[in-house]
Chains A and B, each alone.
Chain A
Amino acid sequence: MVGMSLLRSAAAFAARLSPLKAGNNAAHIITRTIPRTDKVAIRWGHGKKMFVVKPSDFYDRRFLRLLQYYILLTGIPVVVFVTAVNVFIGEAELAEIPEGYEPEHWEYYKHPITRWIVRNIYDSPVKDYEKMMAAIQIEKEKADMRLTQLEVRRQMRQTGDGPWFQVPTLDKELIDHSPKSSPDN
């Protein structure tokens, strides 16, 4: 350590004595001894170095950083998963339906992820069809029942011999006929 400072002071003394000699240039061995203003490497680009006053872009950069982070958080696993499926399992190939074989409803799709979704999550198209037809049948029966009800109402109101549209009146037995039997009392 002492030797270092001795060397340093010796180099500084030599450089001060004859600064233009080639070996005495202290710039690349020991820094901060002699600033050589005539041989300084100018690396500022061109033009005067200015302190540019601009509004803070911290919030914008933070937003973009967070956006990137949250997108890639699930994006990268999804991409890796889909790539692995495409490389290791691969898409299905078209084939003729073998004789006497009824393919399952997911065997009509090409991509393995679509097949999985159709097999485990969606209902089979046959079931969907039947559900729709059941809904149509229920609505048809409701409509038919409403129409028959209207017809029955019409008939009962018209003929009056049915249980509907009967106006309750007093019982005939309750009429006291005694004042009517002797008119001139």
Chain B
Amino acid sequence: MPKDFDTEVYPEPPRQTPVVDKQTALPNPALILSKVFYYTVDLPVTTFRDTIDSIRSKNKLVYYHQKFRRVPDLTECQEGDYPCYYEAEMQWRRDYKVDQEIVKVVQERMRACQQREGNSYEQNCTKEIQQFHEVTKNFQSRYGDLGAYASAKKCLMKQKERMMAAQAQSA
């Protein structure tokens, strides 16, 4: 079966099943239903999966995540050096995708925390909420309104505007 999620990042809440204190002779319907579910759904599905895995285990393929080398940035390119511009643009696009995924992961963590805590999420999830706010604020300030035709040059110009605004404010 595939790996489960990381239990440090998404901790399970402590189990609150009470001690069994059966005082009637009647059977427990929850227990019956869970057993029925196990035998009709869980067991066939698991055996099917195991048979398919045993057929597949002869040729196991693996795949990797590609690691790209860092290339000179747009600011380190000579003017008119178009191949350098292309490389910087590709690197910026990869970084943009990575940043989008980072925001998604942080958002997912906050949602999981809210789901876990239930009605007391405002108190218990402060770390996740604060992290989410910080990450989204940074993402918005860097890639915010660049639009669908965003490019490294536009992002650089946005950064220049930000720096000019910060300088005007501090001066």
A residues lining the B interface (CB < 8 Å): 87-97, 103, 107-110, 112, 115, 129, 132-133, 136-137, 139-140
Q: Are B61 and A133 in contact (CB under 8 A)?
A: no
Q: Most chain-A Cβ atoms within 10 A of its Cβ — which of B64, B80, B82, B87?
A: B64
Report Cα–Cα, A129/B55, bound state, in Å: 39
B5 CB contacts on chain A under 8 angstroms: none
Report Cα–Cα, A176/B82, bound state, in Å: 61
Q: Are B64 and A87 in contact (CB under 8 A)?
A: no
Instruction: Supply 14 A–B pairs (Cβ within 8 Å), ascending by A.
Output: A87-B56, A90-B53, A90-B59, A92-B61, A93-B61, A94-B65, A107-B63, A108-B63, A108-B64, A110-B63, A115-B61, A129-B90, A136-B82, A136-B86
A140 CB contacts on chain B under 8 angstroms: 80, 82-83
Task: Give the shortest distance, in Å, between A107 (CB) and chain B (any CB).
Answer: 6
Q: Which B residue's beta carbon lies closest to that of A91?
A: B61
Q: Which A residue's beta carbon lies closest to that of B67?
A: A97
Give me the 9 closest cross-chain CB pairs, A-B, nearest first.
A90-B56, A92-B61, A92-B63, A95-B62, A140-B82, A133-B83, A136-B82, A97-B64, A108-B66
Q: Which A residue's beta carbon lies closest to that of B63?
A: A92
How many B residues face the partner with a CB closer than 8 A? 19
Interface residues of B in 120-147 (CB under 8 A from A): none
Q: Are A87 and B52 in contact (CB under 8 A)?
A: yes
Interface residues of B in 42-60 (CB under 8 A from A): 52-53, 55-56, 59-60
A129 CB contacts on chain B under 8 angstroms: 90
B61 CB contacts on chain A under 8 angstroms: 89-93, 112, 115
Q: Are A88 and B55 in contact (CB under 8 A)?
A: yes
Q: Are A109 and B83 in contact (CB under 8 A)?
A: no
Report Cα–Cα, A48/B124, bound state, in Å: 75
Interface residues of B in 61-117 (CB under 8 A from A): 61-67, 80, 82-83, 86-87, 90
Q: Are B63 and A109 in contact (CB under 8 A)?
A: yes
Report Cα–Cα, A89/B65, bound state, in Å: 21
Q: Which A residue's beta carbon lies closest to that of B58?
A: A88
Q: Are A132 and B86 in contact (CB under 8 A)?
A: yes
Q: Which A residue's beta carbon lies closest to that of B56?
A: A90
Q: Which A residue's beta carbon lies closest to that of B51?
A: A87
Q: Are B83 and A137 in contact (CB under 8 A)?
A: yes
